[in-house]
Amino acid sequence: MLLLVNYNNYQKTIFLNSSNAVAGNLYKKVSSTTDYLALAEINEQLNRENTRLKNILADSYKMSVDSSVLYNDSLYQQQYIYRTAKIINNSVNKHLNYITLDKGSLHGVKSEMAVVTANGVVGVVISVSKNFSTAISLLNSRISISAKIKKNDYFGSLTWDGKDYKTARLSEIPVHVPIQPGDTIVTSGFSSIFPAGLLLGTIQEVLPSSGGNFHEVIIAFTNDFKSLSYVKVIGDLLKTERVELEKGESE
């Protein structure tokens, strides 16, 4: 489940979409003047990312039949497609932070696609023009992501409280569930946007329970949102089928 809280402002969506081309070109020019300062770091990051994607390539596919033995590639159907994009504008010090990418509809980017790096989830695409797109950052109080504890699969909701760009809060984890600092938090896979198992962060602190039924958990992001440069935009090729099926079940 992914929740964009109070994000029903039609006028704002239209504004974001129409201003992408103008703002995008400006951000792209500013961004290009500083690229050379971080070329070594960017190249290293891209190399790590390419290696990671090669190592997990099988995760982009799903079995089309029930079988424990792979006889040929026709048993697999590709589910996720990755596109590379560059961040040309980013903010971390507001309550509602957004990210601008240098790729748009001409490059296959659509709204409600996941934005990630090798270190984890960055946000969700919400507005697209021909050459640019805008994503809502995890550092935005209007977004909530279904997350789970990797070691035991207990799931809850991850949200940002608008305070520290390095941390977020994980809620709805029952108090009887054993958790501790250092535990890894990943996407649950309950969303039609995010594949399961994408990094979100690690538990930094488990606050004393205030007498309720759930833990209060502070998560340290695995991404440093102040040093983001290149990202992957993930498209789910089976999303429409899933959304239509779940829509029918809810009616």
pLDDT tens profile 80-123: 889 999 999 999 999 999 999 999 999 999 999 999 999 999 99
C-alpha to C-alpha distance for 87 and 232, rounded to whole angstroms: 10
Residue 69: pLDDT band (50, 70, 90) is very low
C-alpha to C-alpha distance for 2 and 187, rounded to whole angstroms: 10
Right CATH number for 143-221 from 3.40.30.10, 2.40.10.350, 3.40.50.970, 3.20.20.80? 2.40.10.350
Per the CB < 8 A criterion, the answer to whether 181 and 221 are in contact is no
Instruction: Return mean pLDDT, the chain.
Output: 81
Q: Compute the average pLDDT of residues 187-196.
A: 91
Q: Two tokens at 186?
A: 């990943």
Nearest Cα neighbor of 165 from 231, 99, 100 is 99
What pLDDT, on the 0 to 100 scale, is given for residue 35? Answer: 59
What pLDDT, on the 0 to 100 scale, is given for residue 74? Answer: 43
Residue 73: pLDDT band (50, 70, 90) is very low
Nearest Cα neighbor of 123 from 131, 205, 109, 176 is 109
What pLDDT, on the 0 to 100 scale, is given for residue 192? Answer: 85
Q: Return the sign of the alpha-carbon dihedral for residues 242, 244, 248, 251.
A: positive
Nearest Cα neighbor of 102 from 90, 112, 120, 92 is 90
Residue 7 scores a pLDDT above 60: no
What pLDDT, on the 0 to 100 scale, is given for residue 218? Answer: 97
Provide CATH 2.40.10.340 ranges for the chain: 2-64+72-140+226-250
Q: Does domain 2-64+72-140+226-250 have CATH number 2.40.10.340?
A: yes
Provide CATH 2.40.10.350 ranges for the chain: 143-221
Q: Give the containing element (helix H, strand E) for 134.
A: strand 133-140
Across the strands, what pairs with 128? 133
Q: Compute the average pLDDT of residues 43-62.
A: 56
Residue 48: pLDDT band (50, 70, 90) is low
Residue 162: pLDDT band (50, 70, 90) is very high
